[in-house]
Amino acid sequence: MAHTFIIVLVIATSISGLLWCIMVAQRIVSKNKEQIMQKPVNNVITISQKLQSWTKSIASIFPVLFLVFMVRAFGYEPFQIPSGSMMPTLLAGDFILVQKYAYGLKNPITQHTLIQTGHPHRGDVVVFKYPKDTSQDYIKRVIGLPGDLVSYDLLSKKLSIQPDFMNVKNCKRLLKVTYFPFNMDDQKFINSNKDELNHNVNHKYIQEVEPEGDHPVTRIEMFDSVKHLILLLNGEQKDFELRGYNGIVHQKISWLVPENMYFMMGDNRDNSSDSRYWGFVPEKNLVGKAAAIWMSFDKKEGKFPTGLRLERIGIIH
């Protein structure tokens, strides 16, 4: 949908711009001469005069279309959050602004980088083209940079990151990842039912949690000076049974991030389809950095909005 919009915008801007140039050229040629558009004879407007009037109207909107195109293609682009994979940072019904220039100025059609302006940092919330279907836009948090060894413990639900792992001097260096203690008395999260929490992920390694006693809890995670909330189902699973394929037990899984690739995870750690399941995100797929929530509607996924959440408007952390 977003890709179709930019194509339509490019076509509309190009047509109106061409007509605008023609109108300017006509004015220059007709300067100090009789106006090109003659007065109607006996109050009869000819087809030629109608066409000239339509052409002038279309050409007049070119400056506005050009401004919209420049802002939309290289500045900021609005996105709607459709699912709960980034809870509690982003909720379904949030409308966000994405900085298109954060990671390079790109051709709005081909996504080819024209001018490099920067690279993602760990902790950035990023919109990108889904590697398995580039017509879809995904939004996740950057966890691993190129060269990082990212490990995730399925029981404690904690990350460990070893930057520049292939460098012999740095391969044993661990990035400090801090987890603040659970505070069960201060869970600032909107309660959701089990279907809403589990609809969008196929659990490959962990058994489905039994409905009895399920409850989402939030926890603060911090690395590279980026502090953010993550959502966990039932917190740590110390006595949780793990099952892998063919009966093989997997408690800790690791990924080595290739060059020009990024490892993404949703903040809703137990219910996010992300790099743990479908792999890495190429740098060329990056759309931009999620900067702020500009509007938020109180709604469930697939339902109509029931109100506004003005308190959610602000910078995304």
Same domain, 40 and 121: no
Asked if the structure places residue 66 within a domain, the reply is: no
Please say whether the dihedral angle defined by the alpha carbons of residues 41, 47, 48 and 49, taken in this order, is positive or negative.
positive
Q: Which residues pair with 256 in a beta bridge?
A: 149
Average pLDDT rounded to a whole number, residues 204-229? 68
Q: How far apart are CA 151 and CA 30, in angstroms?
A: 71
Same domain, 33 and 177: no
Same domain, 219 and 278: yes
Of 52-66, 84-98, 255-269, least confident by mean pLDDT is 52-66
Provide the b/e sequence for 83-122 (b: ≥16 CB within 10 Å): bbbbbbbbbbbbbbbbbbbbbbebebeeeeeeeeeebbeb
Asked if the structure places residue 67 within a domain, the reply is: no
Q: Please, what's the largest Cα pairwise distance for the chain?
A: 92
Closest listed residue to residue 77, CA positions, set 281, 294, 268: 294
Domains: count for the chain: 2
Domain holding 264, by residue range, is: 74-315
Percent of the chain scoring above 90 in pLDDT: 44
Q: Is 30 a catalytic residue?
A: no
Same domain, 13 and 148: no
Q: Is 83 a catalytic residue?
A: no
30 to 49, 52, 60, 126, 130: CA distances (angstroms): 16, 14, 18, 52, 53
70 to 14, 155, 198: CA distances (angstroms): 13, 47, 39
Q: How far apart are CA 209 and CA 206, in angstroms?
A: 8
Same domain, 117 and 87: yes
In the prediction, which pLDDT does 111 show? 80
Same domain, 20 and 89: no
In the prediction, which pLDDT does 1 show? 53
Q: How far apart are CA 180 and CA 171, in angstroms?
A: 26
Report CA 65 to chain centroid distance, whole Å.
24
Confidence of residue 15 (pLDDT cuts 50, 70, 90): confident
Does residue 150 surpass a pLDDT of 90?
yes
Same domain, 224 and 266: yes
Same domain, 298 and 184: yes
Contacts of 155 (CB under 8 A, 6+ apart): 236, 237, 238, 240, 242, 251
**CATH code assigned at 232:** 2.10.109.10
In the prediction, which pLDDT does 282 show? 96
Asked if the structure places residue 68 within a domain, the reply is: no
Confidence of residue 199 (pLDDT cuts 50, 70, 90): very low
Asked if the structure places residue 36 within a domain, the reply is: yes
Same domain, 42 and 151: no
Q: What's the whole-number average pLDDT of the chain? A: 80
Active-site residue (options: 106, 129, 140, 289): 140
Same domain, 157 and 83: yes
Pull the structure tokens for residue 4.
């179709």
> What is the total residue count of the chain?
317
Active-site residue (options: 85, 192, 272, 275): 85
